């Protein structure tokens, strides 16, 4: 029995990391929003590793937070350990990583959704997407409920026709033994959305009581308190350690002798998995000369004995999984609480999306998260907030919100998805960002908070906090640039003790001193002169801006040059098959992707500089023809 269940502005299908951000963004922008989830107990579920952040991924979390999203705040609430990675490298690749309490993360995020004004959270299985006059208009659930909306964001994760594989065993299912979503995948295909098939996996979980940690190396969190969110209160948290062990030759032997039972090698799994997170059996085969691989044992929370075996993702049979786990030092008597598994699922080819994450063929239909061929909680959350923002803007007949590659890692990721052909689950990497010195995790608030405020996601109070920080940074930079270090015996003595830093006879400014590799911001505070009392984050920001000023200016000038190509817009109605001079490959690729600018066209695989020259001539001819017609 079909019945009308309610009218909304925006409906979000799925309440994983993408769905939570999409729903909160739309509701906070004033849209009456519905978030539908398969299971109310699995809102913001972490079906794989109990961690958030890391290189590039941590940047995404900071950017979502700066725009007014929730993943950073929620990670801070649920964190049981935090570390700043790559501290020996430059600021462009330094990144936070947090171990989280999985259950706390879920409960906390669910509480936020339930308390959000304009947002309803309901348990339902979305079966079909409804179309009216060529536009999206609603969702039909398995119980016959019809929810209507002007915009719909599908964030179905890995549930679309999900298939769990453990050795010879396979069965329909979503992560952690959930139901798969079959009807929704069929509905998308019937609407003309091209679908593909990917694979991911997860390692076993083991019982803490059965592990001998004395044979492992402890991996504690950093003593210095860190936070992902720019507005989280600093709190002292009890840090739970992780542990490091290694596979052995015996592990390799067991895996090699059982490859005939591995679905990855028997052909049972044919879809492509994430290259940057291979299964343990793939690692043993691919790196056959390597005697050992790192394995991290990570707690899943404060109130559970389950430990996550990072580095041993597998779909081998259960008996083989247990046997190979028991070959690791400290795990000789380990008990497996949950077996690892692979999961195959349908995804949407992201080349069918606009940069707003709206589908090109169905107005008002947006997709975000792993359904777009990505991997990871952070990538999902980043897409979710953009899709939620643009769904809300769509209902208000406003221009979409699009971040450029030079503005955010989020912009890099979405541009990559829409413009470049992906043949494996996409993972954000620092190497993908050509302007990574501009897009550091420490300055995400300075880059994006004002945008979040203009959209309506960032509160006035938070915006004023950002303005104060920006002002303090500018004032301190100005002070360092204009203040000359006094030439005195005390000053010379202090500088002489700083790794031999001397004081030139003609004098030097504080900024000039700070630019020296051996001088830190803390060293400046030792000099016998007055210094303002500034927050640590302001000092860190000033230090980076001063020390890397030359490199930053170089990247800014590069971004400005590329900006000119991005500003050369391409009409959306171009029939590239009629543009003379284009190569056949460029013609086909651009007809499918419909790039919005010359800059985007240049990033399409197979489009050559010669093709871009043809397009520039075509645009100039169009411009002249229009001027002729108007005169």
Beta strands 79-85 and 135-141: pairing type?
A: unpaired
CATH of residue 603: 1.10.150.570
Nearest to 392 by CA among 37, 23, 31, 77: 31
Distance in angstroms (rounded) separating the CA atoms of residues 238 and 234: 13
Q: What is the pLDDT of residue 275?
A: 78
Stretch 353-359: mean pLDDT: 97
pLDDT at residue 505 greater than cutoff 60: no
- Residues 22, 169: one domain? yes
Q: How confident is the model at residue 504 (pLDDT cuts 50, 70, 90)?
A: low
The answer as to whether 469 is a domain residue is no
Q: What's the pLDDT at 498? A: 72
pLDDT score recorded for residue 490: 77
| Domains contained in the chain, number | 4
**Mean pLDDT in residue range 261-270:** 84
Is residue 261 domain-resident? yes
Give the chain's largest Cα–Cα span: 90
- 227, 139: one domain: no
**Do 487 and 423 fall into the same domain?**
no
Query: Dihedral through CA 604, CA 608, CA 614, CA 615, nearest 10?
Result: 20
Residue 529's pLDDT is: 84
Q: What is the pTM of this model?
A: 0.94
Confidence of residue 631 (pLDDT cuts 50, 70, 90): low
Inside any domain, residue 563: no
Residue 127: pLDDT band by 50, 70, 90 thresholds?
very high
Output the six-digit token pair for 211. 């592990």
Identify whether 466 is part of a domain.
Answer: no
The pLDDT value given to residue 332: 97
- From 190-194, 348-352, 596-600, the region with the lowest mean pLDDT: 596-600
Q: 148 and 12, same structural domain?
A: yes
Co-location of 507 and 579 in the same domain: no
Tens-place pLDDT, residues 289-347:
899 999 999 999 999 999 999 999 999 999 999 999 999 999 999 999 999 999 999 99
Please give the average per-residue pLDDT across 74-82, as a whole number: 96
CATH number of residue 64's parent domain: 3.50.50.60
| 359 and 505 share one domain | no
pLDDT by residue (tens digit) across 418-458? 999 888 999 999 999 999 999 999 999 999 999 999 999 99
Domain end marker among 341, 376, 406: 341
Strand partners, 550: none
436 found inside a domain: yes
Quote the CA–CA distance of 152 and 146 in Å, as a whole number.
13
Asked if residue 185 is part of any domain, the answer here is: yes
Confidence grade of residue 106 (pLDDT, cut at 50, 70, 90) = very high
* Separation between Cα atoms, residue 106 and residue 103, nearest integer Å: 5
Q: pLDDT higher for 340 or 588?
A: 340
413 and 358 in a common domain: yes
Closest C-alpha to 426, from 200, 180, 242, 233: 200
Task: Indicate if 510 and 592 belong to the same structural domain.
Answer: no
CATH number at residue 491: 1.10.10.1800
Q: Residue 28, class by beta-carbon neighbours within 10 Å (0-12 exposed, 13-18 middle, 19+ buried)? A: buried
Rg (the chain; Cα; Å): 27
24 and 155 part of one domain: yes
My answer on whether 130 and 243 are in the same domain is: no
Asked whether residue 224 falls in the same domain as residue 332, the answer is: yes
Cα 500 to chain centroid distance, Å, stands at: 43
Any domain includes 17: yes
For the residues 526-550, what does the mean pLDDT come to?
91
Closest CA to 26 of 130, 139, 124, 153: 153
What is the structure's pLDDT at 57?
97
pLDDT in tens, 52-77: 999 999 999 999 999 999 999 999 99
* pLDDT of amino acid 189: 96
C-alpha span between 182 and 162 (Å, rounded): 8
Q: Which residue has the tokens 């543009």?
A: 579
Distance, in Å, from the CA atom of 533 to the CA atom of 525, rounded to the nearest integer, reads 10
Residue 266 sits in a domain whose CATH number is 2.40.30.260
| 48 and 155 belong to one structural domain | yes
- Position 506 scores a pLDDT of 66
Q: Is the pLDDT of residue 153 over 70?
A: yes
**Lowest-pLDDT range of 59-63, 174-178, 295-299, 382-386:** 174-178
Q: Which domain holds residue 238?
A: 205-341
What's the chain's average pLDDT? Answer: 92
Q: To which residue do tokens 């649920």 refer?
A: 78
**Is residue 473 in some structural domain?**
no
Q: Tell me the CA distances in angstroms from 240 to 55, 84, 203, one per residue in order.
A: 21, 15, 20
Which of 505, 526, 555 is the last residue in one of the domains?
555
What's the pLDDT at 620? 82
The residue among 316, 341, 366 that closes a domain is 341
């Amino acid at each position: 029995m079909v019945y009308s269940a309610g009218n909304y502005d925006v409906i979000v299908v799925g309440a994983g990391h993408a769905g939570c951000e999409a729903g909160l963004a739309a509701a906070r922008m004033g849209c009456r929003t519905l978030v539908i989830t398969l299971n109310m107990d699995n809102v913001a579920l972490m079906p794989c590793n109990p961690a958030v952040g890391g290189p590039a991924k941590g940047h995404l979390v900071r950017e979502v937070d700066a725009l007014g999203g929730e993943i950073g705040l929620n990670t801070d609430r649920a964190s049981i350990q935090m570390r700043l990675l790559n501290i020996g490298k430059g600021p462009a690749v330094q990144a936070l990583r947090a171990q989280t309490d999985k259950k706390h993360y879920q409960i906390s995020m669910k509480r936020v959704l339930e308390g959000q004004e304009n947002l309803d959270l309901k348990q339902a299985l979305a079966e079909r997407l409804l179309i009216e006059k060529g536009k999206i208009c609603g969702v039909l659930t398995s119980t016959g409920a019809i929810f209507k909306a002007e915009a719909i964001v599908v964030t179905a994760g890995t549930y679309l026709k999900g298939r769990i594989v453990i050795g010879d065993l396979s069965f329909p299912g979503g992560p952690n033994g959930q139901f798969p979503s079959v009807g929704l995948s069929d509905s998308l295909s019937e609407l003309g959305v091209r679908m593909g098939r990917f694979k991911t996996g997860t390692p076993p979980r083991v019982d803490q009581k059965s592990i001998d940690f004395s044979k492992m190396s402890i991996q504690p969190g950093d003593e210095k308190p860190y936070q992902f969110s720019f507005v989280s209160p600093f709190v002292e948290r009890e840090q739970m350690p992780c542990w490091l062990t290694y596979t052995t030759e015996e592990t390799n032997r067991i895996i090699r002798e059982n490859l005939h039972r591995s679905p990855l090698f028997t052909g049972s799994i044919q879809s492509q998995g994430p290259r940057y997170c291979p299964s343990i059996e793939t690692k043993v085969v691919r790196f056959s000369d390597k005697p050992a691989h790192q394995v991290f044992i990570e707690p899943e929370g404060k109130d559970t004995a389950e430990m996550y075996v990072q580095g041993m993702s597998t779909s081998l049979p259960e008996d083989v999984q247990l046997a190979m786990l028991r070959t690791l030092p400290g795990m000789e008597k380990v008990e497996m609480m949950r077996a690892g598994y692979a999961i195959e699922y349908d995804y949407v080819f992201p080349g069918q999306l606009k940069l707003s994450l709206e589908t090109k063929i169905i107005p008002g239909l947006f997709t975000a998260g792993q359904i777009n061929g990505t991997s990871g909680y952070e990538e999902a959350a980043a897409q979710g907030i953009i899709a939620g923002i643009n769904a809300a803007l769509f209902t208000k007949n406003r221009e979409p919100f699009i971040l450029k590659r030079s503005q955010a890692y989020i912009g890099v990721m979405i541009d990559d998805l829409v413009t470049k052909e992906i043949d494996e689950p996409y993972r954000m990497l620092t190497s993908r960002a050509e302007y990574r010195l501009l897009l550091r995790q420490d300055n995400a608030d300075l880059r994006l908070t004002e945008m979040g405020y203009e959209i309506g996601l960032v509160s006035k109070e938070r915006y004023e906090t950002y303005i104060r920080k920006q002002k303090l940074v500018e004032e301190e930079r100005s002070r360092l640039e204009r203040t000359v270090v006094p030439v005195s015996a005390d000053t010379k003595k202090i500088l002489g003790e700083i790794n031999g830093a001397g004081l030139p006879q003609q004098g030097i400014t504080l900024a000039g001193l700070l630019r020296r590799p051996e001088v830190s911001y803390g060293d400046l505070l030792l000099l016998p002169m007055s210094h303002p009392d500034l927050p640590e984050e302001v000092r860190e920001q000033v230090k980076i801006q001063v020390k890397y000023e030359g490199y930053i200016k170089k990247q800014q000038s590069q971004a400005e040059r590329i900006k000119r190509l991005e500003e050369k817009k391409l009409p959306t109605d171009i029939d590239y098959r009629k543009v003379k001079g284009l190569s056949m490959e460029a013609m086909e690729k651009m007809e499918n992707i419909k790039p919005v600018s010359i800059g985007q066209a240049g990033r399409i695989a197979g489009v050559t500089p010669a093709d871009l020259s043809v397009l520039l001539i075509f645009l100039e001819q169009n411009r002249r023809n229009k001027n002729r017609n108007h005169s």
